[in-house]
Amino acid sequence: MDTQIWTLYLCFWLAVLGAVLGSFLDCAVSRWAEGRPPFRGRSRCGACGRVLGAGDLIPVFSFLLRRGRCRYCGERIPADCLAAELAGALALACAGRRFGFTPELGQWLAAAVLLLALSLADGFRRVLPDRLLVLLAANRAAWFFILGQGVREALDAAAACAVPAALLALVLLFERLSGRELMGGGDIKLLFVLALYLDWAELLLALLAACLLGLAWAALAGKRRGAAVPFGPFLAAGAMTAVCFGGPVLNWYFGLF
């Protein structure tokens, strides 16, 4: 019982932290996408340019309180702000529930934040920046070698690379035969980095979850969004889902044999 209350407490504060970080990342990445310095200057309304006060910058609540509109000019606030805040809150809270107060939680929080930044960059600009991918890989490498998790996990990671390698071969073959681009190069690179984090079964589950989430999104958003939906955010969400909730699913599946 005690540990449950602790976990709830941890998840609550991680959700708050995640919402704040989501808000911050959304702002930084949207500035980067417009070619402005990401970390400089006060937050302003995108429509009227008024500098926003502290009361306008409380994640989620400000948006709901003002019904998604700017307090000064009444213009709609882009929904990606709210989406990034909710995604950040959800990702960090789920990691907290999965890992509890352990050293592993630290690296997964960092991974979740980087995945959110990658998703936003893919959403705004349809690219997964190499710098963020390298940071994501470095975060995992630090876990292997600095924290001494050692050779066995590193070998598992190398084995999991077989999944993106096989997928890459399939994609290249398909693209060769059909002359159409199927999957962005960034998505494949992200898969290779995720292979450092997930074993091969988790990685396949992440891919499956990503495809299901992508299909659900396409069904919900309909055709008004156009054909090109970035896959990065779904891959990131699929990976977090596989890590935080995949254990029981995989146990059930492998129990069938």
Binding site for Zn ion (CB under 5 A): 45, 47-48, 70, 72-73
Q: How far is CA 241 from CA 43, 125, 144, 249, 255, in A?
A: 32, 24, 22, 11, 20
Contacts of 127 (CB under 8 A, 6+ apart): 121, 186
Q: How far is the CB of 53 from Zn ion (least distance, A)?
A: 12
Q: How far is the CB of 87 from Zn ion (least distance, A)?
A: 24
For Zn ion, give the closer residue by CB, 49 or 255: 49
| 118 contacts 126 by C-beta, under 8 angstroms | no
For Zn ion, give the closer residue by CB, 34 or 181: 34
Closest CA to 165 of 201, 140, 194, 192: 192
Q: How far is the CB of 89 from Zn ion (least distance, A)?
A: 25
Q: How far is the CB of 48 from Zn ion (least distance, A)?
A: 3
- Dihedral sign for Cα 188, 125, 202, 107, please: positive
Q: For the chain, list the strands marked E by DSSP.
A: none
Q: How far is the CB of 73 from Zn ion (least distance, A)?
A: 3
For Zn ion, give the closer residue by CB, 48 or 147: 48
Q: How far is the CB of 40 from Zn ion (least distance, A)?
A: 20
Count of CB atoms within 10 A of residue 190's CB? 25
For Zn ion, give the closer residue by CB, 47 or 161: 47
For Zn ion, give the closer residue by CB, 57 or 211: 57
For Zn ion, give the closer residue by CB, 48 or 159: 48
| 108 contacts 97 by C-beta, under 8 angstroms | no
Per this entry, what is the length of the chain? 257
